[in-house]
Structure 1
């Protein structure tokens, strides 16, 4: 089920959106707001899947609210406005749809259908991944309207980014909307191992391991990247490195 916020400074407009959403059993409206600053705080706090967001509001307009959020933290957004001139800015922020007031029922239903499709895309597990032999073999990362494909074999290491994760591959970074713990379960353990609660490393990228007095360790990857391995994961890491050595 999608968790949604309805944000509009006009109470009647808000009521109209709420009435329509009550007919959508897969959308749960968790809060409503009447100005931009409150909406921004509400999005950061509630982390909704979806917002229906007015453009012209006091304090911060709807576009300012979305722009204030890092791309990875922006919910799916349907903008509501009486003005057409904001459309270019809106789609630069990757909104799902842009509805002109007064909104017709058919047009609203079309916007909801688009949000459902976009939500399903975001929640393919993991990250629209392609699998080989039961393990993750490729990521599909979305950049606005573009899709970028990253082979798992090109990934050097992965670190946590809140509820998401960042792939580090050939000097570039790719944000995926999948928690690190889910990636750890999906990657081939013969190739990848978790070394910290916030990091996964590809074993054949490890060039050096230096143990510390508290049973932690410092890894150096082939590209020079230093990573800390915590005592919680050190035994599994050493065993995986030994298996890789004997298999070579």
Structure 2
């Protein structure tokens, strides 16, 4: 079931987005809320969990990127629906799942919504930054500084080159959807940058491991070992 928030200040477009979302998501839609301002969106996000945010970047003359820079740290996915296509690259760098330019047809939005429901599909435009919350503020961690990600229940831990660990509000599955193609799911609990793996080892009893450049040893799932080995050749 999906909980959706639409942030759009033009009533006709907001109605169109709501209609298309209901048509595409159907019985999978648990909740849909429409707000018209950044303040209303921030207030709603502070009190209600969601799965998907549809965000315009020009809201009553205010820049929706202000909300994007904080929302990408959330556990939900974000789809930008905006005529401000000059911001598309920056939005993808922050880890949005898709950018739907205005004016849009139903099928284009439907395509973005299908990507959101699949969740495991790797983004065509990978994020360059991952946002983490720290003491009431948001810090952008460069993806190039991350060597692997470990699942931690409803959260993920970003492990950086200097050994620091940063807690991210997205699950491993949702985070995997916006990481670059150099990251590979090696185990149910790990996504690893392939260029950091220096060797693979198979042991009796079906145990497999990957050794990283810094000496870290990580488990490799039995079903993933062969495919991972072929990618590394």
The alignment's TM-score, normalised by the length of structure 2, stands at 0.54
Q: Is the 8 A contact 1:76 1:119 kept in 2?
A: no
Shift of residue 114, structure 1, vs aligned partner: 1.1
1:4 and 1:172, CA in 2 relative to 1: closer, same or farther beyond 3 A?
A: same
Structure 2: distance between partners of 1:146 and 1:97: 23
Structure 2: distance between partners of 1:62 and 1:28: 25
Residue 172 (structure 1) aligned to one of 164, 175, 178: 164
Shift of residue 150, structure 1, vs aligned partner: 5.4
Q: Is the 8 A contact 1:37 1:59 kept in 2?
A: no
Q: Which residue of structure 2 aligns with residue 195 of structure 1?
A: none
Q: Which residue of structure 2 aligns with residue 90 of structure 1?
A: 91
1:72 and 1:27, CA in 2 relative to 1: closer, same or farther beyond 3 A?
A: same
Shift of residue 117, structure 1, vs aligned partner: 2.1
Question: Looking at both structures, which has the greater relative contact order when contacts are Cα pairs under 8 Å and sequence separation is at least 6?
Answer: 2
Deviation string, structure 1 residues 155-209 (Cα, Å, up to 9, x no partner): xxx8x9xx53647798320436459xxxxxx99xxxxxxxxxxxxxxxxxxxxxx
Shift of residue 43, structure 1, vs aligned partner: 1.5
Q: Which residue of structure 2 aligns with residue 102 of structure 1?
A: 103
1:149 and 1:34, CA in 2 relative to 1: closer, same or farther beyond 3 A?
A: same
Structure 1: distance between partners of 2:145 and 2:163: 20
Structure 1: distance between partners of 2:117 and 2:144: 17
1:75 and 1:171, CA in 2 relative to 1: closer, same or farther beyond 3 A?
A: same
Structure 1: distance between partners of 2:64 and 2:33: 16
Q: Which residue of structure 1 aligns with residue 119 of structure 2?
A: 118
Does residue 44 (structure 1) correspond to residue 55 (structure 2)? The answer is: no
1:208-247 mapped onto 2 (5 Å cutoff): none
Q: Is the 8 A contact 2:150 2:157 kept in 1?
A: no
Of structures 1 and 2, the larger Rg is shown by 1
Deviation string, structure 1 residues 202-240 (Cα, Å, up to 9, x no partner): xxxxxxxxxxxxxxxxxxxxxxxxxxxxxxxxxxxxxxx
Q: Which residue of structure 1 aligns with residue 8 of structure 2?
A: 8
Shift of residue 90, structure 1, vs aligned partner: 1.0
1:95 and 1:144, CA in 2 relative to 1: closer, same or farther beyond 3 A?
A: farther
Q: Is the 8 A contact 2:8 2:36 kept in 1?
A: yes
Structure 2: distance between partners of 1:117 and 1:147: 24
Q: Is the 8 A contact 1:3 1:30 kept in 2?
A: yes
Structure 1: distance between partners of 2:54 and 2:40: 14
Structure 1: distance between partners of 2:107 and 2:144: 25
Q: Which residue of structure 2 aligns with residue 56 of structure 1?
A: 58
* SS of alignment partner, residue 3 of structure 1: strand
Shift of residue 12, structure 1, vs aligned partner: 0.6
Structure 1, unpaired ranges of 5+: 122-142, 153-157, 180-185, 188-248
Deviation string, structure 1 residues 114-146 (Cα, Å, up to 9, x no partner): 11122688xxxxxxxxxxxxxxxxxxxxx8699
Q: Is the 8 A contact 1:50 1:77 kept in 2?
A: yes
